[in-house]
Amino acid sequence: MKNPPRLNFAHLPTPIEHLSRLSEHLSAQLYVKRDDQTGLAFGGNKTRKLEFLVAEAQTQGAKTLISAGAAQSNHCRQTAAAAARYGFDCILVLTGDEPDQPSANLLLDKLFGARIVWVTDRNDRDRILQQAYEQSLASGGVPYLVPYGGSSPTGALGYTFALEELMAQDSSFDWIIFATSSGGTHAGLTLGKRLFGFDGQILGISIDEDENWLKSHVSTLASDASALLGEREKFSLTDVQATDAYCKAGYGVLTDLEREAVQLFAKYEGLLLDPVYTGRAAGGMFDLIRKGFFKPTDKVLFWHTGGTPSLFADKYSFEIV
């Protein structure tokens, strides 16, 4: 197996914890993998991806990291932190209107020294992102474009090796449940399952994307990521498990599903979820448990992908309790 360039700044391995009180409450066998504790700027799943992405940027001689996301993007927060740590300039193209006072992730973006470019319409974001890249290039910035969500073949490697890490800790889980959106985490786990022989099932609960799009995108991304490690592996739609049953309300829209999940994790385990990603994925998992989707004997691992600073965003802080 090839060894692509990688930095080592994540706090790994992240712990696995038994959710004993929540398991009793829901009559299930629930565990959590704490990737909210990866260490970089309040942690999260993007830290694993950035170990490979920032290393790639360094090998290309880049001086500026450029990326994009929502106004409260967890990915952009961690990208800005990685840029600060390794001496890059950082430009973030964020969707929305600039608030009078920054809060939560946006406050952290500014603390890390990122330059924010605002775009009102999400449909214009790719154009503005490319424009920012070209302007940086023209001014000698030597930019590196960090893909949306860190979800490129390079970024997906973070979760390929995360699956290897999990198996060294405990390979007996029947299910891995997690939030999926841009597909990098999903693709990495899918590739890791094959490479390292994980026998359990991997189910991504969509935050905002159509199930068919996810299966197509993730299978392609996993195939492309495999080529960075050696011989290309072919993944098909049937290799990817995803459900879009819980994202109909729209991206970042707080409903009773997310609210209950955040509250139950806090009440029974003293563990914080975010209202956008982990709250929605955990809410979907709770619904599947109540519908009898899992067997009573199944060991179910919820992979906590971080995002807790979003709890303190003005949009959610008064509505979550």
73 included as an active-site residue? yes
First-to-last alpha carbon distance for the chain, in angstroms, is: 48
Active-site annotation holder among 67, 73, 206, 219: 73
Burial group, residue 268, by CB count within 10 angstroms (0-12, 13-18, 19+): middle
Angle (CA) 176 104 161, round 5° = 30
The rounded distance, in Å, linking the Cα atoms of 34 and 36 is: 5
Phi, psi of 42 (to 5 degrees): 75, 10
CB 204 within 8 A of CB 239: no
Distances (CA, A) of 111 to 78, 84, 114, 234: 12, 10, 8, 42
Angle (CA) 313 314 319, round 5° = 100
Phi, psi of 241 (to 5 degrees): -110, 125
Distances (CA, A) of 76 to 69, 114, 130, 162, 163: 6, 9, 16, 21, 24
Residue among 242, 240, 239, 319 nearest 279 (CA): 319
Query: How far out from the chain centre does Cα 113 lie?
Result: 22
Catalytically active residues are: 73
